[in-house]
Structure 1
Amino acid sequence: MSGITLADWLRAQDDTALVALLRARPDLATPPPADMSVLATRVGTRASIARACEDLDTFTLAVLEGLVVAGADSTPVALATLAALLGPDVKPKPLRQALTRLRSLALLWGDDEAMSVPPVTREAFGSYPAGLGRSTGQTYDLSGITEGEQRVLQKLAAGPPIGDTKDASRVVPLEKAETPVQRLLARGLLLRRDPGTVELPREIALQLRGTRPLGPVQVAEPKPRTGAVRQENVDATGGGEALELVRHAEKLIAGWSAEPPPVLRTGGLGVRELRKAAKDLGVDEQRAALLIELVVGADLVANTEAAEPEWVPTTKADVWLAATAEVRWATLAHAWLELPRLPALIGRRDEKDRLFNPLADEIRRAQAPRDRRWVLDTIAALPAGTAIGGAAELAGLLAWRAPRRGGRQRDELVRWTVEEGTAVGVLALGAVTTAGRALLDDGAGNAAKALADALPDPLDHVLVQADLTVVAPGRLEPELADEMALVADVESAGSATVYRISEGTVRRALDSGRTADELHELFKLRSRTPVPQSLTYLIDDAARRHGRLRGGAAGSFLRCDDPVLVSEVLAHPEATRLELRRIAPTVVVSPLPLAEVLDGLRSAGFAPAAEGPDGQVLDLRPGGRRTTPRQRSARKPAAPAVPADERLGEFVRLVRAGDRAAATPRGERVSVPGHLGAGPSATLSLLQEAARARRSVLVGFVDSHGTAAQRVIEPHIVGGGVLEGYDHSYGEVLRFPLHRITSAALVDEA
């Protein structure tokens, strides 16, 4: 039985098939191959085959493994031989579909009577493809073996075909053999590899496996358990998680603006700082770790890289904080989708018992974005109104579809992606949200719009309770949300947010410049419930005490219309620490900054206010520290990028042109030892002579990618550092820089 070479088989494929091959295996096109022989060589490289096998499902891999067992890596095999190896459970239709898939990836070539695979394909299946040992070419008689010997043979036949045993230390005659292994060795039914290892010949394993030589073959993918769910419920649940994610991120940025945590000497964030962040946010450490990774991944927080580096919000954080909630969510969700890291590893330990810290290099995984999208796309492909039964169900499905992807942590990666996707709001109730689907399909911009459409309209009112709590029964309008965040603290969040008003929060609003009348008006207009009298009294009492002391920069000064109050301040022990000094009956100065003086007086029980040059109240709340955003270099892709089909079509034209040039008969040849201008002018003369005589020339050159190629050119113009001529392979006039030409030969005329 004979077969064609891979290069010849590739030449026989049409351009559409070759473009599909380069699209499915983009590493083959980097750099563009010079001709079909180069392409065939790349197809058969170990790394390229291993990468292509990552996208094969369990059954297609079994078919490829069957081809290796049949010896298609050295001698072409027939379809009937392969079918016999796969067994009666494999029907013709799925088998042909698998063979078509393998041919489309150039992992298989030839017709059904002479199928071949690249020689290094055998290495993709380890030392024992299908769990079978080496072939001896012999026929074995298994009659007369004992039950113990049968058990040994059956165990090794199931794979792997080698076993460790002390009985292989030496081979004894059959009459002196005492154990099943010794008797099998004596009869030649086991092979002795070394004093501690035996191997079962392939022929015996195939005989014991009977009608299923490759063992059980799982032809169809498993059907995961699913459930029905309404998309409206999915979007509502996911929208709540999205808003909660944004709220926590805002709080984290605010906290780190005031108190940036230090960067560990080895990079990352310390355990103590993680615990503090979790406590401040009111979440568990795993959720806090995910939030930290997201704000850094979105470039809202960065390492200052100073002498004593800290994690500080960037100037991008201010733009982000000014955006709408849905835009803020889309930024974080997109950062998660493209995050080349595994936040779920944080808090675990590696094989050397070293702890994985947030933001540390040890949790970087280049394949993480690809694997994350793989899981999400699988859930998104379910019919509308269908939710996956659980992460374990999904892991089983993906394990069949791509058993070589994900490595040892594949099943955990699926579970982590589902958990993180739910926390981010891309998933909810086991299904993809509308906003999550938009994120997967179109990016952050459309995702923000989808979330805005899915969320209920923002509310313009709140419900003030008699116990000084305020209930927001849904998402508030941005202006009202800002006002409530100023005058009250969040007590609990969820579908309804509960705020708590206290003297301190009212004072905070007054410090920012709000007046008592403005606060009364706020609750009067925005509350759907009657404003309790206790809230009115609280605001009036705080306003009456607020601002009686006025501070300015002198370092700082205090003024008050009541000399008795000034005396009371000076009599307090805090006045000594603040270095207060009376310069008039109603004026006190201090060399300390105004903010420090006011904070000290507030801690002593007074209620001073900051004053500007015009006498109006100033908001001295710190704006928080900021650092410049990172100039992040483009992330190195985990796999070669796939060019557009137009570009791939151009690559195919290049390959075919190189093939035609290689087959062109050559006459007089001139090689260029160096730069044309620095060496002999023979090549230039040959090209000029060919232009005058209208002779075609086989030109060797190096293209802009550094790839050597050849073209059959009919020169029109030679000069000015350029060869311009008709390219017979392309059917058009092209220009070639003379300094890139490495050789030239006249084409023999027929």
Structure 2
Amino acid sequence: AERAFTAVASLADVLQAALTSPLARIGAGTLGAADRRRLIESGAGADADAADELVAIAEQAGLLAADGRTLLVTAPGLTWLHSSTIERWLTVAAALIDALPRALRPVEDGEAGDRVDRGWIDVDAWPGAYPYDPAWRARADAMLTALRRWAVLDATGAAPAWTRPAAAGGDIDADALAALLPPEVDRVYLQNDLTAIAPGSLAPHLDMRLRSMARRESRAQASSYRFTADSLADALTAGETAQTLRAFLEELSLTGLPQPLAYEIERSASRHGALRVGPDGLGHTRVTSDDEALLRTVAVDQALRPLGLVPSGEASGGDALLTRSSPDTAFWMIADARYPVVAVDENGDRRALDRHRLAGAAQPAPEPVAVYAGLLARLRSAESGDADAAWLGRELEQAVRARETIVVAVRLPDGTEREFTIEATGLGGGRLRGLDRNVDVERTLPVSSITRVSPA
């Protein structure tokens, strides 16, 4: 149960990291070294093997999906992040069990060879399930490793109490596992040092919201979070306001809203929005501000040079800068440069942007018949001509090498056939050469006109 709880929390951290910055893959399809190190440093994986296993589990469960050379969180993955701990575990466990190949399913009583669709055979028999597949043992080991990490199996390969019914073909006993997991809490202690302490496992949807405005410092059954000017600015950039921040924290806190935190929220909110980014209605993106000095700083910032910001003269409320980049691109580049920026529409009204880029919907796998139907049709249509031509070519080559005397049937231009008894002497350029013993003349016959060959 402790392993199940740890695995769920670790996989949630992997998805959180992928939301912040997509995970890169190398040519072999495995996780890149830089992102593997990032996951280890964030606490998502204890070591490189754990990080790789968690990413593989997320892919198999459909929570992560490949998009070119990167791994992105899917829409089901984002939903999974907002689920409770037990729901998170059940979703992934069901995906891992459903993915087991048919040879690992038990045989139905009384019908040898007829396997059921649920449950699995003893793990000691897994290595021999596909004896003629050289890659099977590595695949079986990978599946066992994933099932053990997710606490579907224990360290010995046996099913614990909550998956024992599933091993026999039934359903997972979620209550048996839930009784052993630490209870979730929905309140935290806000402290004067701008930290928040959760006295237990914070409900996932609250943890997601809290981490959008505070940096998590430690992860355990009692996690700690720290509010900073940058973390509050990120929350304001993502669409929060001072009012929504105060309302959420006051409802979440067991100790009220400490004065230092309230002051920091007001200070961040007062600074935020000094820059406004939005479309100008003419195909450009406009960056405006009431602070001319701030605009001049932005215009010469080397980090923003790719935007190609140019002055546009006077605009309503102050000067402005124009760029050909899209409003979203300009907004996020300016936000990453740590400027107090908000996104607005053409009317100047504030709008919230979601930076998270999710993987596209997975395309259903085509039926094997549809995949190979065209190939089979081409093979069948070419079977008689190509196969016969290949056989005829081999017979002629063998006759030439042995200088055999053969009977060759040739189709003439008028559609009739005529047989020649010749000693094969050469084959090339699409023609067969041979000595006709009957008339003592060397003949050259086009191979395309030869219909059959037989020994003389």
TM-score range, shorter chain: 0.5 to 0.7
Q: Does 1:618 align with 2:342?
A: no
- Distance change (3 Å), C-alpha of 1:489 and 1:633: farther
Q: 3-state DSSP class of the match of 1:487? A: coil
CA distance in 1, matches of 2:50, 2:332: 33
CA distance in 2, matches of 1:274, 1:374: 36
Q: 1:508 aligns with which of 234, 246, 255?
A: 234
Q: 1:259 aligns with which of 22, 29, 38?
A: 22
Q: 1:486 aligns with which of 212, 226, 245?
A: 212
Matches within 5 A, 1:715-726: none
- Distance change (3 Å), C-alpha of 1:461 and 1:630: same
Q: 1:592 aligns with which of 300, 305, 325?
A: 325
CA distance in 1, matches of 2:179, 2:336: 46
CA distance in 2, matches of 1:438, 1:571: 66
Q: Aligned residue for 1:268?
A: 29
Q: Tell me the amino acid that sits aligned with residue 234 of structure 2.
A: R
CA distance in 2, matches of 1:464, 1:428: 38
CA distance in 2, matches of 1:576, 1:252: 28
Q: 1:556 aligns with which of 275, 285, 292?
A: 285
Q: Does 1:423 align with 2:423?
A: no
Give the Å deviation of 1:424.
1.0
Q: When the two structures are aligned, how many residues end up with a matched partner?
A: 344
Q: Does 1:463 align with 2:189?
A: yes
CA distance in 2, matches of 1:591, 1:413: 50
Q: Does 1:291 align with 2:54?
A: yes
Q: Tell me the amino acid that sits aligned with residue 437 of structure 1.
A: R
Q: In proportion to residue count, which structure has more strand?
A: 2
- Distance change (3 Å), C-alpha of 1:436 and 1:563: same
Matches within 5 A, 1:600-611: 600-611=333-344
User: Does the aligned pair in 1 maintain the 2:275–2:287 contact within 8 Å?
Assistant: yes
Q: 1:250 aligns with which of 8, 12, 15?
A: 15
User: Does the aligned pair in 1 maintain the 2:22–2:71 contact within 8 Å?
Assistant: no
Give the Å deviation of 1:312.
4.3
Bigger RCO (CA 8 Å, 6+ sep) = 1
Matches within 5 A, 1:354-393: 373-374=120-121
User: Does the aligned pair in 2 maintain the 1:556–1:590 contact within 8 Å?
Assistant: yes
> Between Structure 1 and Structure 2, whose CA radius of gyration is higher?
1
CA distance in 2, matches of 1:402, 1:591: 59
Render the CA deviation track for 1:538-583: whole Å, top value 9, x for unaligned.
2222111101221112332123334454445446555665313143
Q: Tell me the amino acid that sits aligned with residue 621 of structure 1.
A: D
- Distance change (3 Å), C-alpha of 1:435 and 1:464: farther
CA distance in 1, matches of 2:14, 2:236: 26
Query: What TM-score do the two structures reach when normalised by structure 1?
Result: 0.39
User: Does the aligned pair in 2 maintain the 1:294–1:335 contact within 8 Å?
Assistant: no
Q: Aligned residue for 2:442?
A: none
Q: 3-state DSSP class of the match of 2:267? A: helix
Sequence identity of aligned pairs in percent? Answer: 22
Give the Å deviation of 1:469.
2.6
Gaps of 5+ in 1: 1-234, 341-364, 377-397, 636-750
Q: Tell me the amino acid that sits aligned with residue 296 of structure 1.
A: E
Q: 3-state DSSP class of the match of 1:470? A: strand
- Distance change (3 Å), C-alpha of 1:318 and 1:523: closer
Q: 3-state DSSP class of the match of 1:606? A: coil
User: Does the aligned pair in 2 maintain the 1:339–1:368 contact within 8 Å?
Assistant: no
Q: Does 1:580 align with 2:310?
A: yes
CA RMSD of aligned residues (A): 4.2
User: Does the aligned pair in 1 maintain the 2:278–2:287 contact within 8 Å?
Assistant: yes
CA distance in 2, matches of 1:402, 1:437: 17
CA distance in 2, matches of 1:322, 1:403: 37
Q: 1:533 aligns with which of 220, 240, 259?
A: 259
User: Does the aligned pair in 1 maintain the 2:104–2:129 contact within 8 Å?
Assistant: no
Q: Does 1:519 align with 2:249?
A: no
Give the Å deviation of 1:263.
6.0
Gaps of 5+ in 2: 107-118, 369-456
Give the Å deviation of 1:261.
2.9
User: Does the aligned pair in 2 maintain the 1:464–1:527 contact within 8 Å?
Assistant: yes
